[in-house]
């Protein structure tokens, strides 16, 4: 195995992991506030097609990103109204959102089936990108990949270094206490849900505009669900979300190279690998219930009734 | 009182979704009223149409009934797609192994194989939840993807039609399966086949299981309050696994019926899951939620969604309206059903319901 191949796999793994970084970090913030939104897949799909259409019509990446995020947030707003205002079951509402998103994105994307976009050019940083090894490894991506890293830093900083982040986590742990202290639990949860939606939408845009810039119905292909699994895998910690996303990206990419090493495994069996690996990782993580209970927001998935206080 | 109000909510949800659908139809430049007339006319307006609707409803009903059982035990089974695929694969294998067995034996055999395949796939997720605390929501989704790749592997490998290999076309499908396993047509010249009867029997059977057996009582007890159930000596892990196994078995039967009730009498893959299941694994959840997680109410619910699928095809033919509209409508219906919980609660709090039905409603709300 030569160095350039390893480098190639690592670079590809980062690109493959980036949609998970967006979606899983967004979901992490939502879950930290105590809300479980299972609609990530649907929000990603709607974000993907909206961004795709915006890109196809305007050619502006900024517009694609903004509209994709807005679409994801709009989907999340529906979820917010259902679960926070109407106090519906979060699991059922999240499923509904995903099913709705699958239909809506297929519907919106009809005229764009197999339509190809030019993609997003990599940023070429003078000097840095030309460095050997480090150049391709760190400075050979498009602007969205760098944004995802910025997002990671921002989310980590927000959650653990700001007052607002502390409040958000506090609401996830004990909404009643936050309510008693005079904080608007529902309002803050709305913001967290909307943020999660916007990030899922952005993850979708990255997929449809940059990663594989061709519209195919259902192109998110389970990545929203994997993002949900990543949050559990990461025991609700941003750094581990990031690591998990690139790890999953790496496994996804590695399967394309296994045959290159002369190992004869049918491609279908190889493409099961990332998902089987996810299940195994979930088994390993979930066995340690103490860590899970310690790190998962205590009120996660539970409907909060302000009038019951 | 309870039944009247219980019926009102799904009806309102469907109506609201149809109104939203009308808006979408209008924006597409189609006349909403004639569009809906086309849809429902095609689905329910003739015996032929209804036969088509009934056939489309079979997988929806079976998966939906399975979802009822799982959700009642507070197990969220999103693995219908994978369980259908695994059931169909095992049933197909049985039909390929024993092509000579007479129909009277072979049909029950393949249906049983379907149930076993689906139950096995469901039980994996169940056991992972029961003994390893792995969220079944995530594991069933992952198992869906694994099952689809396994199907692609088998249908491109050992199960492929030898004629495809000989011709070099390599379409990933089995050979025409033994005619002995064909599900008999119920009405001459129409598509309605034995699968309809089987699905109805399963729905009734699931109702009996849930409310007339101690097994069903245990499942519901575990779903309603696992701590109390444990205290009463009911094994929570076993019942969680059982719930997913039952749920998977029904999806597996649906998968088998899709193969042996199909017009080509083969199992075919297009590489994804929807090509085989038609997303019934997901839409079954919609069916069950609309039916208030009741197996018997799932029958009209499945017919409605089956009819919408048939109608959507007609709409596409007649008015060039994309059938994806209907998937979006399905989602809207769930959105409205889910949101109706709030109004249900408000209604109950207004004190117009007698105590007994109030308790039952609360149980349904919690399970929903």
- Token pair recorded at residue B84: 């259908």
Q: Do A95 and B78 lie within an 8 Å CB cutoff?
A: yes
pLDDT for the residue numbered B78: 92
Whether the CB of B27 is below 8 Å from some CB of chain A: the reply is no
Q: Mutate which of B135, B324, B364 to disrupt the A interface (most A C-beta within 10 Å)?
A: B324
The answer as to whether B33 is a domain residue is no
- Token pair recorded at residue B130: 């029961």
How many Å apart are CA B187 and CA A286, to the nearest integer? 52
Average per-residue pLDDT in chain A? 90
How many Å apart are CA A148 and CA A65, to the nearest integer? 12
Which of A135 and A277 is assigned the larger pLDDT? A277
A77: closest CA among A100, A108, A57? A100
B126: closest CA among B86, B68, B83? B83
The answer as to whether B218 is a domain residue is yes
3-state secondary structure at position B193: strand
Instruction: Please identify which residue in the block is written with the tokens 């309603």.
Output: B224
Q: Mutate which of B24, B127, B142, B364 to disrupt the A interface (most A C-beta within 10 Å)?
A: B142
Domain range for B327 is: 2-24+42-363
How many Å apart are CA B290 and CA B285, to the nearest integer? 9
How many Å apart are CA A94 and CA A193, to the nearest integer? 11
Q: What residue segments make up the domains of chain A, in order of their start?
A: 3-308
pTM of the model: 0.89
Say whether pLDDT at B158 is over 60: yes
How many Å apart are CA B306 and CA B295, to the nearest integer? 16
pLDDT for the residue numbered A202: 97
- Among the ranges given (A121-125, A170-174, B167-171), the one the predictor scored with the smallest mean pLDDT: A121-125
ipTM of model: 0.86
Q: Do A100 and B345 lie within an 8 Å CB cutoff?
A: no
A211: closest CA among A51, A57, A70? A51
Q: Do A96 and B331 lie within an 8 Å CB cutoff?
A: yes
Say whether pLDDT at A307 is over 70: no
Confidence of residue B118 (pLDDT cuts 50, 70, 90): very high
DSSP B184: P
Cα-Cα-Cα-Cα dihedral sign, residues A228, A234, A235, A239: negative
Residues of B in contact with A81 (CB under 8 A): 339
Say whether pLDDT at B361 is over 50: no
How many Å apart are CA B178 and CA A79, to the nearest integer? 48
Helical segments of A206-298, H only: 223-233, 238-258, 267-287, 289-295
The answer as to whether B37 is a domain residue is no
The answer as to whether B185 is a domain residue is yes
pLDDT in tens, B252-264: 999 999 999 998 9
Whether the CB of A78 is below 8 Å from some CB of chain B: the reply is yes
Confidence of residue B347 (pLDDT cuts 50, 70, 90): low
pLDDT for the residue numbered B269: 87
pLDDT for the residue numbered B341: 67
Q: Which residue of A has its CA nearest to B139?
A: A279
- How far is A67 from chain B, CA to nearest CA, in Å? 20
pLDDT for the residue numbered B357: 41
How many Å apart are CA A48 and CA A67, to the nearest integer? 10
How many Å apart are CA B90 and CA B252, to the nearest integer? 9
Under 8 Å between Cβ of B54 and B306: yes
pLDDT in tens, B265-292: 999 888 777 778 888 998 899 899 889 8
- Among the ranges given (A154-163, B212-221, B284-293, B322-331), the one the predictor scored with the smallest mean pLDDT: B322-331
Say whether pLDDT at B368 is over 50: no
> Which residues, in sequence order, are CB contacts of A4 under 8 Å at separation 6+?
none
pLDDT in tens, A254-272: 887 776 777 778 888 888 8
Average per-residue pLDDT in chain B? 88
pLDDT for the residue numbered A56: 94
- Token pair recorded at residue A2: 């030569």
Domain A3-308 falls in which CATH fold?
Answer: ABC transporter involved in vitamin B12 uptake, BtuC (1.10.3470)
The answer as to whether B32 is a domain residue is no
Say whether pLDDT at A252 is over 50: yes
How many Å apart are CA B107 and CA B260, to the nearest integer? 9
Under 8 Å between Cβ of A96 and A306: no
> Which residues, in sequence order, are CB contacts of A76 under 8 Å at separation 6+?
A30, A37, A39, A43, A193, A194, A196, A197, A198, A200
How many Å apart are CA B58 and CA B253, to the nearest integer? 10
Whether the CB of B155 is below 8 Å from some CB of chain A: the reply is no
pLDDT for the residue numbered B330: 78
> Which residues, in sequence order, are CB contacts of A32 under 8 Å at separation 6+?
A159, A168, A169, A172, A192, A236, A297
Instruction: Please identify which residue in the block is written with the tokens 């799909």.
Output: A45
- How far is B137 from chain A, CA to nearest CA, in Å? 9
Domains contained in chain B, number: 1
> What's the CATH code of the domain at B58?
1.10.3470
pLDDT in tens, B47-106: 999 999 999 999 999 999 999 999 999 999 999 999 999 999 999 999 999 999 999 999
């Amino acid at each position: 195995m030569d160095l350039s191949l390893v480098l190639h796999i690592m670079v590809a793994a980062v690109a493959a992991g980036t949609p998970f970084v967006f979606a899983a970090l967004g979901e992490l913030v939502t879950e930290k506030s105590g809300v479980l939104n299972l609609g990530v897949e649907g929000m990603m799909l709607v974000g993907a097609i909206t961004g795709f259409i915006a890109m196809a019509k305007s050619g502006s990446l900024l517009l694609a990103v903004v509209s994709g995020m807005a679409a994801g947030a709009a989907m999340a707003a529906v979820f917010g109204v259902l679960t926070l205002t109407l106090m519906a079951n979060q699991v059922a509402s999240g499923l509904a959102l995903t099913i709705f998103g699958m239909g809506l994105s297929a519907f919106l994307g009809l005229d764009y089936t197999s339509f190809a976009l030019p993609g997003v050019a990599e940023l070429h940083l003078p000097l840095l990108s030309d460095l050997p090894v480090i150049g391709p490894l760190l400075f050979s991506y498009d602007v969205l990949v760098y944004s995802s890293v910025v997002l990671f830093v921002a989310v980590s900083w927000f959650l653990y270094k700001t007052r607002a982040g502390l409040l958000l986590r506090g609401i996830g742990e004990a909404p009643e206490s936050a309510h008693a202290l005079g904080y608007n639990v529902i309002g803050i949860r709305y913001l967290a849900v909307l943020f999660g939606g916007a990030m899922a939408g952005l993850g979708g845009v990255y997929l449809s505009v940059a990663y594989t810039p061709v519209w195919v119905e259902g192109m998110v292909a389970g990545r929203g669900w994997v993002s949900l699994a990543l949050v559990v895998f990461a025991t609700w910690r941003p750094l581990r979300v990031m690591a998990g996303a690139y790890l999953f990206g790496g496994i996804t990419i590695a399967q394309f190279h296994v045959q290159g090493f002369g190992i004869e495994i049918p491609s279908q069996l190889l493409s099961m690998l990332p998902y089987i690996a996810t299940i195994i990782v979930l088994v390993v993580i979930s066995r340690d219930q103490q860590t899970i209970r310690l790190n998962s927001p205590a009120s996660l998935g539970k409907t909060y009734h302000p009038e019951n206080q | 009182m309870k039944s009247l109000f219980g019926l009102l909510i799904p009806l309102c949800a469907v109506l609201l979704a149809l109104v939203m659908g009308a808006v979408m139809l209008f924006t597409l430049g189609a006349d909403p009223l004639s569009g809906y007339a086309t849809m429902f006319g095609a689905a329910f307006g003739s015996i032929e149409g209804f036969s088509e609707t009934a056939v489309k409803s079979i997988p929806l009903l079976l998966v939906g009934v399975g979802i009822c059982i799982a959700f009642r035990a507070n197990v969220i089974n999103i693995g219908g797609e994978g369980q259908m695929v695994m059931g169909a694969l095992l049933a197909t294998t049985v039909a390929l192994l024993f092509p000579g067995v007479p129909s009277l034996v072979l049909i029950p055999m393949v249906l049983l194989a379907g149930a076993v395949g689906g139950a096995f796939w469901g039980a994996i997720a169940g056991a992972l939840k029961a003994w390893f605390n792995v969220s079944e929501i995530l594991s069933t989704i992952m198992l869906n993807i694994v099952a689809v790749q396994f199907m692609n592997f088998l249908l491109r490998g050992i199960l492929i039609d030898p004629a495809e290999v000989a011709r070099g076309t390599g379409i990933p499908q089995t050979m025409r399966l033994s005619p002995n396993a064909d599900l008999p047509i119920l009405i001459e010249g129409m598509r309605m086949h034995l699968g309809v009867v089987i699905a109805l029997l399963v729905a009734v059977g699931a109702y009996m299981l849930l409310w007339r057996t101690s097994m069903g009582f245990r499942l519901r007890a575990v779903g309603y309050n696992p701590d109390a159930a444990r205290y009463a000596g009911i094994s929570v892990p076993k019942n969680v696994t059982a719930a997913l196994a039952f749920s998977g078995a029904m999806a597996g039967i649906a998968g088998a019926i899709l193969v042996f009730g199909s017009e080509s009498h083969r199992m075919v893959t297009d590489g994804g899951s929807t090509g085989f299941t038609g997303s019934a694994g997901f839409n079954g959840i919609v069916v069950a939620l609309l039916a208030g997680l009741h197996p018997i109410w799932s029958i009209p619910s499945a017919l409605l969604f089956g009819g919408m699928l048939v109608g959507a095809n007609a709409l596409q033919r007649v008015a060039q309206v994309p059938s994806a509209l209907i998937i979006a409508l399905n989602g809207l219906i769930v959105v409205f059903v889910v949101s109706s919980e709030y109004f249900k609660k408000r209604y109950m709090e207004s004190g117009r319901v007698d105590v007994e039905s109030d308790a039952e409603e609360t149980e349904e709300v919690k399970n929903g």
